[in-house]
Amino acid sequence: MPYRIKALWEALEESRLRERRIIDSARDAFASLDADWRILDWNRAAERLFGWQREEVIGKQGFLLLTPEDEGPDLRRMQIEGLLNRDVRGSEGAILELPIVCSNGVRKTVETSVWQLDLGGRIEYYTFSRDVTERKQLEQELSRRAHYDILTCALNRTAIFERLTGMLASDEHATAVLLVDIDHFKRINATYGHATADQVLIEVSRRLRGCVGEHDSVGRLASDEFVIVMQSHEKQEVTALARRILASLEQPIELPDDSVHSSASIGIALAEPGDSAESLLQAAEMAMFTAKRSGRGRHACFEPVLRQRVTERIRLEAALRHAIHHDELRLYYQPVVSAATGRVEAVEALLRWQHPERGLIMPGDFIPMAEETGLIVPLGRWVIEQACRQAVLWQNMQGGSPELRISVNLSPRQIAQPRLVEDVRTILAGVSSSGKRIRFGFEVTETVMMHDPQASADTLCALRELGAHLSLDDFGTGYSSMAYLKHLPFDTLKIDRTFIKGVADDDSDRSIIRSMLALADGLNLDVVAEGVETEAQRQTLQTLGIQRMQGYLFARPQPAENIERMMGGSLEALE
């Protein structure tokens, strides 16, 4: 072989070997395919991901090789070709998310980047794939938890409201609501304990689903309160369903160690023109209270005379407006602590209403009404101002060093207010005469992103620019897409108590928390575990790597003077 040809051949071989080493060293699975999707090349990462060796797949069609048996290859071919109808030439290509089956029959979800190159009239496709199975499973689990009640598998409040709102907006569906409240559930809870009470709720939900039709929906609104959305406007049909439910719930609930007897009171409301989801549920609630007053274990239909309850609600709204301006509101503070040392690192401000006649009213008894009426806006403004003033007081007590951060909860309705950022700026300017920065923050739930994601993102970014520490509260129970996390300026992720409750003995909860921690670590977010109530939960969470926690195990919400006793120290100051 002439010297030049030999040198050229050796150079070519060396180039090919170098190219092979580069391809095989890639962490993502690489494949090249011809115009008919026959595999031309396959790297070691592809062997690890898909299970087939390179020599086993060369010349085979990729979509035939990886298509699950229950998805016909023709369907998969059409799906891929449909996705690739857009231009995948050049540097951008296309990103596909596909279910595949490996050589050992294991199913996975892969994210595949595809590029098309024209090599002198010969078309080739180049793909890089990575395993996103765990991420998809986490997203699906979080999505399920966002729409379904974790304990009972009934629809949650958000999902049932969406369902009811959609039906009321449609002229095709007559709509009725049945509000089912378990009688004396607190007594069941106190007598048998939380675990048995949970089993009762699970069984009640199962029986309700067994009573309804295929087009009806069962949801859980509160601890012992379920709702059925029914496609009917015939009073006789709706009351027949109520009787079936009552008969079903009268049967004893057999548990491994006991037999529990229960009953329910049911309120019925038939939709009228102009009804909203809130007004229809309110009417059903009024009817349910009538059933309870009539002796429980029965049903009642809403009647116009029950509108007196609405009047009472209006009076409550007026009383709350009065409370804002007449020193009836109080802020309590619940510590966020270091699990290892017990040192208080931050506090969450929580609202209470000191009613002159009814005593201390918890937020669950008036915040929902404030949300519905819009009163949450002035109420929230008061909370922000008082919390910031308290932060300044504590900062001065600590010699001007702002060691303790106060966080305030923001509702979706507050986030949607155009003046929120300006109000916060004005409050900060008014409470800190020295001009020193105070440590404050806001906590928002994932549901804020469901209304207007871009506007919500802009508002949060503006609050961050003012110096606010931003926490994503109740993570995992709302709008659970991963996409918004990387675009929003959160500092802390607070894992919802529903994931904490069973963490000491539930492998699935621990697995989900590990995934959340990995996500938080990748996005450089701090993590706080909410609702920690037992030492077993604390130890398990600490083993998983969570160092900041909040819950009754450490401290209940406290008045400001109690927090002052523990500033700079641990919870032992409360003992």
Question: Nearest 5°: CA angle at 72, between 69 and 77?
Answer: 125
CA–CA distances in Å: residue 318 to residues 146, 325, 368, 369: 34, 11, 15, 11
CATH of the domain at 423: 3.20.20.450
Token pair, residue 287, equals 């009817």
For residue 315, tell me if it sits in a domain.
no
Q: How far apart are CA 76 and CA 133, in angstroms?
A: 19
CATH of the domain at 159: 3.30.70.270
Q: Are residues 379 and 465 in the same domain?
A: yes
For residue 321, tell me if it sits in a domain.
no
Q: Are residues 388 and 489 in the same domain?
A: yes
Element (H, E) at 33: strand 29-34
The packing angle between helices 277-293 and 157-169, to 10°, is 110
pLDDT at 79 (0 to 100): 56
Question: What does DSSP assign to residue 362?
Answer: P
Q: Are residues 240 and 213 in the same domain?
A: yes
**Closest Cα partner for 409 from 467, 455, 363, 355?**
363
Q: Are residues 259 and 298 in the same domain?
A: yes
For residue 123, tell me if it sits in a domain.
yes
Check if the beta carbon of residue 40 is closer than 8 Å to that of residue 127: no
Structural domain boundaries, residue 474: 332-350+373-568
**Closest Cα partner for 553 from 528, 570, 536, 573?**
536
Q: How far apart are CA 427 and CA 14, in angstroms?
A: 69
Q: Are residues 121 and 183 in the same domain?
A: no
- Tell me if the pTM is above 0.75: no
For residue 148, tell me if it sits in a domain.
yes
**Closest Cα partner for 129 from 103, 98, 106, 104?**
98
For residue 366, tell me if it sits in a domain.
no
CATH of the domain at 29: 3.30.450.20
Element (H, E) at 353: strand 344-355
Element (H, E) at 34: strand 29-34
pLDDT at 573 (0 to 100): 44
Q: Are residues 144 and 124 in the same domain?
A: no
Would you call 196 helix, strand, or coil by DSSP? helix
pLDDT beneath 70: ranges in the chain: 1-22, 24-25, 63-65, 67-93, 171-172, 307-310, 399-403, 433-436, 449-452, 478-484, 567-575
Q: Are residues 547 and 402 in the same domain?
A: yes
The last residue of one of the domains, among 103, 131, 159, is 131
Q: Are residues 187 and 107 in the same domain?
A: no
Q: How many CA atoms lie within 13 A of 329 on its CB side?
A: 25
Number of separate domains in the chain: 3
CB crowding 536-551: b at 16 or more within 10 Å, else e: ebbebbeeeebbbbbb
Q: Are residues 34 and 85 in the same domain?
A: yes
Q: Are residues 30 and 56 in the same domain?
A: yes
Q: Are residues 18 and 126 in the same domain?
A: yes
For residue 324, tell me if it sits in a domain.
no
The last residue of one of the domains, among 80, 102, 131, is 131
The last residue of one of the domains, among 96, 131, 166, is 131
Q: Are residues 97 and 192 in the same domain?
A: no
Would you call 90 helix, strand, or coil by DSSP? coil
For residue 323, tell me if it sits in a domain.
no
For residue 316, tell me if it sits in a domain.
no
Check if the beta carbon of residue 410 is closer than 8 Å to that of residue 459: no
CB crowding 302-338: b at 16 or more within 10 Å, else e: beeebeeeeeeeeebbebbeebbeeebbebbbbbbbe
